[in-house]
């Protein structure tokens, strides 16, 4: 397999599962964590390695090292592997997804931005989602009429904060996730609920038109639910580990134990909450975005640009959502080609960088 984003949490878990199943790793792609990359090279012995920056090439303990986005696309095209695990973060992951599908490869997709920004132009029959929420929906689907698909959210770092304090939240505050440790950007996205908006949009592209929603489940033990038209509801329970969806993406016939079962007696109780717009302002565009899913590129570009400004301390935490909503109202043109996606992405980022709040 080809693993894009090998040093992130999903990449690390993918390598654990690959080792368990004896799957050969042909290519490793990572950003700037060269120390961890070198350990992965020593253990998994890939044929090719790609890093983000050319300055890091000489620090990589491998004889076949490249750098940059173009190199990622080239190794995908030239590799023998039929599976690409895309765990890159951000819009950077889109071109590799498109290239992998163009080359007839199967994509185990953790890069949300690929479908959020470009779902209209991606053959989802080539996609196996490895987000726990989409895996849960896939796991629950049966040959029965569906009324609604529901995914769950943790609520992020600020689910229990006084709403009046949110405007003063710092970058460090956003990283205090109540349930687990993730990368910087996705933890911010969890706090704004943008992450869950993206996952609803991904579900729309993966499973087709229909009714989708999300609720907060504070212990993150239920990942997805399906309301069937007969009045019944099923839920997917599993401990919060990416290894289960990764395992199914890497090996279709799953008879081995991957996770410990949840002991409901130890859990005792579960708590559910509504996602409120006053705490998560991005939620006000949920229904419109699901009806107009090609506008996901606007939300993604605005979000990434706003987060850059937040990290740089140019704007406050709640301004991230304000900027996204501003861009969403402004950029409403038709999107007809992949080139349109990249053009609008650039325009939205430029706009967000220039807005004075």
The pLDDT tens digits for 98-125 are 999 999 999 999 999 999 999 999 999 9
Residues 192, 186: contact at Cβ < 8 Å?
Answer: no
The total of other beta-carbon atoms located within 10 Å of residue 211's CB is 12
pLDDT of amino acid 120: 95
pLDDT of amino acid 179: 76
* Domains annotated on the chain, with CATH: 2-129 (3.40.50.720), 134-291 (no CATH)
The rounded mean pLDDT for the chain is 94
pLDDT of amino acid 178: 78
Residue 170 vs residues 176, 181, 300, 310, 331: alpha-carbon distances, Å:
11, 17, 21, 9, 29
Please give the structure tokens belonging to residue 124.
């989802």
pTM of the model: 0.92
**43/249 Cα distance (integer angstroms):** 22
pLDDT of amino acid 177: 84
Residues 261-295 pLDDT 10s: 999 999 999 999 999 999 999 999 999 999 999 99
Residues 115, 299: contact at Cβ < 8 Å?
Answer: no
One-character DSSP codes across 145-162:
-EEEEEEEE---TTTTS-
Q: Which residues, given as ranges, of the chain have pLDDT below 50?
A: none
Helices (H), the chain: 9-21, 34-44, 69-78, 94-102, 112-118, 132-140, 171-174, 184-192, 194-207, 243-250, 264-267, 286-291, 296-311, 317-330, 338-354
**182/184 Cα distance (integer angstroms):** 7
Phi and psi at 86, nearest 5°, equal -100, 100
**204/159 Cα distance (integer angstroms):** 25
**207/110 Cα distance (integer angstroms):** 16
Residues 17, 9: contact at Cβ < 8 Å?
Answer: no
pLDDT of amino acid 256: 84
Please give the structure tokens belonging to residue 41.
């090279």
* CA–CA–CA angle 85, 154, 296 (5° rounding): 55
pLDDT of amino acid 265: 97
**351/357 Cα distance (integer angstroms):** 13
* Residue 88: closest CA among 124, 70, 114, 125: 114
Q: CA dihedral defined by 87, 281, 287, 143, rounded to 10 degrees?
A: 50
């Amino acid at each position: 397999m080809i693993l894009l984003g090998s040093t992130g949490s999903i990449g690390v878990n993918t390598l654990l599962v690959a080792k368990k199943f004896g799957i050969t790793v042909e290519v490793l792609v990572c950003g700037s964590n060269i120390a961890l990359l070198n350990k992965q090279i020593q253990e998994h012995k890939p044929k090719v390695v790609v890093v983000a920056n050319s300055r890091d090439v000489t620090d990589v303990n491998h004889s076949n090292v490249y750098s940059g986005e173009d190199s990622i696309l080239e190794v995908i095209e030239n590799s023998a592997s039929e599976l690409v695990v895309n765990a890159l973060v951000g819009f950077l992951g889109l071109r590799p997804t498109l290239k992998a599908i163009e080359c007839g490869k199967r994509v185990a997709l953790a890069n949300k931005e690929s479908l959020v920004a470009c779902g209209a132009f991606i053959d989802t029959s080539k996609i196996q989602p490895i987000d726990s929420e989409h895996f849960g929906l896939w796991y629950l689907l049966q040959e029965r009429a569906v009324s609604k698909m529901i995914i769950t959210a943790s609520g992020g770092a600020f689910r229990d904060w006084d709403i009046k304090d949110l405007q003063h939240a710092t970058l460090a505050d956003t990283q205090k996730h109540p349930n687990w440790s993730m990368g910087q950007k996705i933890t911010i996205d969890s706090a704004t609920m943008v992450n869950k908006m993206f996952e609803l949009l991904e579900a729309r592209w993966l499973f087709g038109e229909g009714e989708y929603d999300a609720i907060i489940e504070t212990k993150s033990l239920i990942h997805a639910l399906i309301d069937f038209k007969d009045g019944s509801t099923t839920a997917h329970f599993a401990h919060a580990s990416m290894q289960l969806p990764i395992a199914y993406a890497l090996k279709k016939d799953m008879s081995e134990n991957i996770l410990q079962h949840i002991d409901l007696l130890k859990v005792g109780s579960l708590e559910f909450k509504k996602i409120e717009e006053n705490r998560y302002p991005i939620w006000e565009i949920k229904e419109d975005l699901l009806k107009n899913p090609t506008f996901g590129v606007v939300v993604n570009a605005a979000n990434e640009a706003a987060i850059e400004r937040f990290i740089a301390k140019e704007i406050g935490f709640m301004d991230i959502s304000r900027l996204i909503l501003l861009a969403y109202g402004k950029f409403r043109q038709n999107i007809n080609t992949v080139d349109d996606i990249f053009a609008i992405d650039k325009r939205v980022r430029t706009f967000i960088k220039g807005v004075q709040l």
